[in-house]
Amino acid sequence: MTMMRMTALATGLLAIGQPSIVSAQGAGDPTANWSQVALCAKQAGAKARHACLDQLLRDKGLLNAGQEVAEAREAFGRSARAEATPPAPSAPVIAAETQAPTPHKPQKAVQTETKLSGLQTKVAGAKLGADRKLLVTTVECAIWHQIETLDLRTIPQKGDDFAIEEASLGSHRCTIGKSKVFRCQRIN
């Protein structure tokens, strides 16, 4: 889970639990909202839990599509291991209600997580590393390392076009301008 998504989730959970913010959002009863969050926690698998919480945040107006696209651009090329975070502390226990809460039913069609297969960006900086392979920093502050031996002859300049595409077996192809293509890996 990216830092932006974790921040949105924390903000959403705080908003769900605070009556003044909830009433301003028109989100309803804090206890009922927390019950919906608790139902998401019972989902099997992290992906299902995250999808349930994201949909709950969308329904409450706390998560929007623009924010999700920005997160996908920022996280493009990171490995799943790089995004692993320690488990969150357990939530406070809320007294049982007189009747069982109803499962959260999204009002809209469930939107899947935004997944990019490529990214068009610009070079913020580039240099040769100690291994004589190119290191490119994009305007999003992502650092891409050339992983194949290929003489590129010139180092890209600030502002040059830089494209990254997914390739086979989880690798990536980086393109500088329109012609210099090489295999690359995100290192941050």
pTM, 2 dp: 0.47
Q: What are phi and psi of 158, to 5 degrees?
A: -55, 130
**pLDDT per residue of the chain (188 residues) written in tens, 0 to 9:** 455 555 555 555 545 554 444 344 455 678 888 888 888 888 888 888 888 888 888 888 888 878 888 887 788 877 655 444 555 555 454 444 444 555 555 555 445 555 677 889 999 999 988 888 999 999 999 999 999 887 777 888 999 999 999 888 878 999 988 778 889 999 98
Q: What are phi and psi of 104, to 5 degrees?
A: -70, 125
**Alpha helices per DSSP H over the chain:** 3-17, 19-25, 30-41, 46-59, 65-75
Q: Are 81 and 36 in contact (CB under 8 A)?
A: no
- Residue ranges per domain, the chain? 3-81, 118-186
